[in-house]
A and B are shown apart, each in its own frame.
Chain A
Amino acid sequence: MRAAVPLVTDASTNTSALVVLVALFLLVTVLGFMATRFRRAEKLDNLEEWGLGGRKFGTWVTWFLLGGDLYTAYTFVAVPAAMFATGAVAGFFAVPYTIMLYPIIFIFMARLWSVSHRHGYVTTADFVRGRYDDRQLSLAVAVTGFVATMPYIALQLVGIQAVLEVAGVGGGDNIVEKDAPLFIAFAILAAYTYSSGLRAPAVIAFVKDALIYVVIIVAIIYLPGQVGGWDAIFGAAKDKMETTNEATGAPTGSFIPGDGQMWAYATLGLGSAMALFMYPHSVTASLSSASRNTIRRNAAILPAYSFVLGLLALLGWVAIAAGTKPVGLDGEPNAQLVIPQLFEDFFPGWFAGVAFAAIAIGALVPAAIMSIAAANTFARNIYKEWLRKDATPQQEAKVSKLMSLLVKAFALVFVLTLDKQNAINFQLLGGIWILQTFPAIVFSLYTRWFHRKALLAGWAVSMVYGTYAAYGVSSATTDHFGGSLAEIPGLGDMGYIAMTAFALNLVVTVVLTLVLRQLGVSNGRDVTVPSDYHADAGDPRVDADLAVEDPLATGEPDPR
């Protein structure tokens, strides 16, 4: 059931789309540099200001910032691509994932905000350090966060590349023509992130989110009518997913999760939801909010983005009904190009340009926040903790700013020199890894029953298991790291590897905790007190306490 639509892929440069794309890109560049004036601070030479925007973003700024941060360009490219290629289990799980996300963060994020506000923590590893006085556990959390974030930044570049490729630039044979646009885009991003810190993505997020909403709402209203309505769309998707794939002999994908796919769908959703706010960039955006309850109010209003993401996922199936042929400039089919290609096929050049800009700018916001968050983690938990204990806040900020450049440079080299598949593999691994820091961070917000060494052991065991299990997954395109699903031992059904590893993590942590407590091994010293977990901005009692400089914030020996 296919409507008469242009099926010819136009590989030539789409001039009007390109003009709009460049114009919007220039607009956000100016905004990025002017962002230093936003909620202006006297000095930007410390992590509180550069790395957290002074912790003073209100409900709406946080809504745009977190929306821009969590719903990345890669999400916008990959989710519909997964729907287009293999259907609902691989693609639509993003909807339950981003719904379950909010009750989960509602529960613990206010506590993390409060204790971080009270003690000047910038990263989750800072908190773990304060809670247990354990450098190894803190390092484990920091390194996991840092390593998991790197490929995520690289994937934002993949999002920009997809847009540029469909717009007809960046695919030439010589290296300058091929990679120059991406290089320039990232150099500009690096420059304004360096000068404005977290204020830059906060300002640009307004533009990004506005563009995304406009583009998706227009597309979801206009496109279904062009391809025969929703009945035709779901019909075409069902036909495609039930067709036997010649390479594997199995159905192409899943229209609706069938028997044996229920666990996969549920664990992908829950595991991803629990993992997302373990990433440094999510924590950075949350801690930059002005009060304990900002994040809770946001938990109620952020699902607006989940709704849009669900519509976007369905655009992957609109593309099936439309017969979209996502073919790269190298002539190879590439599902990642399906959304940009759909827009180019159906919309006038200028509107395709707006859509391309939405994706490209959508890559800049998370890339900026991720690089800041990874850099903060490095400066606080590796540089200051292990390399230079007497670093001043100014030195810390300087190291962090330089690191934000290095992280982006690394991501660029990664994407330009290695196969894209590597970035996707590592991102998949990163998701498995980051979930293993959940017990050390979230459980510790509530209790010190778990032993610090048991948490470390649980983390280590599950990291190894998760990596090994992911290594064993092959797909049509790759022998290892071919996906995030593997058989759940003892259950027989497929499930998200991160959740299986997490279960193992819990077992190891609980058993070892019982043993270590029995043996009476010290569980470290806690510098937090119960009221810290309820502290709010403007609490006079907390302000009085903050006036006495906090040992963790200043690096002085703890007088208590």
Chain B
Amino acid sequence: MSLGKDTPARPQDAPPPTDRRKIVAACVCLAIPVVALLAVPTYARDEPELWGFPFFFWYQFIWVFLCSALTWTAYKLVLSARPPRGDRDGGGK
């Protein structure tokens, strides 16, 4: 086998057909929480408080849920971008 993996020796060695736009959209969904939480100066402050919690704390708790929702969206996008082949176990695998 040669080093060049771009032209696989057998056709079945190629990656599955992929909808690039959906993969990019999924990557954006995944990047949002990382970028938001890395931008510490945007949320390292007291105000506004919520139920006695300084902003810094409740804001990060909210990101737990936002991140979960965005990751689930990315999951659905990736599934439709690259439909699994030979799906024996029924949908959603």
A100, A296, A529, A542: the one within 8 Å of B33 (CB): A100
Q: Decide if A505 is an interface residue (CB 8 Å cutoff).
A: no
Residue of B at shortest CB range from A257? B44
Closest to A258 in B: B44
In Å, the complex CA distance between A284 and B67 comes to 24
Residues of A in contact (CB 8 Å), total 58
Query: What residues of chain B lie closer than 8 Å to A234, measured between beta carbons?
Result: 52-54
Contact A529 B40 (CB under 8 A): no
Assembly CA distance A541 to B85 (angstroms): 9
Between A102, A234, A270, the greatest number of chain B beta carbons within 10 A of the residue's beta carbon is seen for: A102
Give the distance in Å from the alpha carbon of A95 to the alpha carbon of B1 in the complex. 46
A531, B67: Cβ atoms closer than 8 Å: no
State which residues 37-93 of B face A: CB under 8 Å.
37-41, 44-46, 51-54, 56-57, 60-61, 63-65, 67-72, 74-75, 78-79, 82, 84-89, 93
Q: How far is the CB of B36 from chain A (nearest CB, A)?
A: 9
CA distance in complex: A304, B64 (Å): 8
Cα A470 to Cα B41 with chains together (Å): 26
Residue numbers in A under 8 Å from B1 (CB-CB):
525-526, 560
Question: Would you call B37 and A269 a contact (CB within 8 A)?
Answer: yes
Q: How far apart are B39's CB and chain A's nearest CB, in angstroms? A: 8
| Complex Cα gap A77–B61 (Å) | 20
Query: Does any Cβ of A come within 8 Å of B24's Cβ?
Result: no
Given the known interface contacts A230-B53, A269-B37, the answer about A99 and B5 at a Cβ–Cβ threshold of 8 Å is no
Chain A residues whose CB sits within 8 angstroms of the CB of B16 once the complex forms:
531, 534
Q: Would you give the shortest CB distance from A254 to chain B, in whole angstroms?
A: 10
Whether the Cβ atoms of B86 and A270 lie closer than 8 Å is: no
**Across the two chains, which residue of chain A brings its CB closest to B85?**
A539
Contacts of A422 in B (CB 8 A): none
Whether B45 lies near A100 (C-beta < 8 A) is no
Determine if A526 and B5 form an interchain contact, defined as CB atoms under 8 angstroms apart.
yes
CB of A95 within 8 A of CB of B60, answer: yes
Q: How large is the interface on B (under 10, 10 to 19, 20 to 34, 35 or more residues)?
A: 35 or more
Pick from B27, B75, B87: contact of A538, CB below 8 A: B87
Residue of B nearest to A447 (CB): B5
Q: For A293, give the chain B residue with the smallest CB separation.
A: B93
Judge whether B75 and A296 touch: CB under 8 Å: yes
Chain A residue numbers with a CB within 8 Å of B12 are: 531, 541
CB-based contact A530/B8 at 8 Å: yes
Q: Which residue of A102, A103, A296 is within 8 Å of B31 (Cβ)?
A: A103
Residue contact A88 to B56, C-beta cutoff 8 Å: yes
Of A265, A299, A529, which one neighbours B13 at CB under 8 angstroms? A529
Whether A256 sits at the interface, judged by CB under 8 Å, is: yes
A103 touches which of B14, B33, B52, B79 (Cβ 8 Å) = B33
Nearest Cβ distance between residue B86 and chain A, in whole angstroms? Answer: 4
**Cα distance, A482 to B88, chains bound together (Å):** 53
Q: Which residue of B lies closest to A265 (CB)?
A: B40
Q: Give the distance in Å from the alpha carbon of A262 to the alpha carbon of B33 in the complex.
A: 17
* Distance A398 CA – B75 CA, assembled complex (angstroms): 39
- Which A residues are in CB contact (< 8 Å) with B93? 291, 293, 536, 538
Q: List 23 A-B contacts (CB under 8 A).
A: A95-B61, A99-B63, A103-B30, A106-B75, A107-B30, A233-B52, A256-B45, A266-B37, A269-B37, A270-B38, A293-B93, A297-B75, A300-B68, A300-B69, A301-B68, A448-B5, A536-B84, A536-B86, A537-B89, A538-B86, A538-B89, A540-B86, A560-B1
A→B interface (CB under 8 Å): 88, 92, 95-96, 99-100, 102-104, 106-107, 229-231, 233-234, 256-258, 261-263, 265-266, 269-270, 291-293, 296-297, 299-301, 303-304, 306-307, 310, 314, 448, 523, 525-526, 529-534, 536-542, 560
Question: B interface vs A, CB < 8 Å?
Answer: 1, 3, 5, 8-10, 12-16, 27, 30-31, 33-34, 37-41, 44-46, 51-54, 56-57, 60-61, 63-65, 67-72, 74-75, 78-79, 82, 84-89, 93
**Nearest 3 A-B pairs (CB), nearest first?**
A230-B52, A529-B13, A103-B30
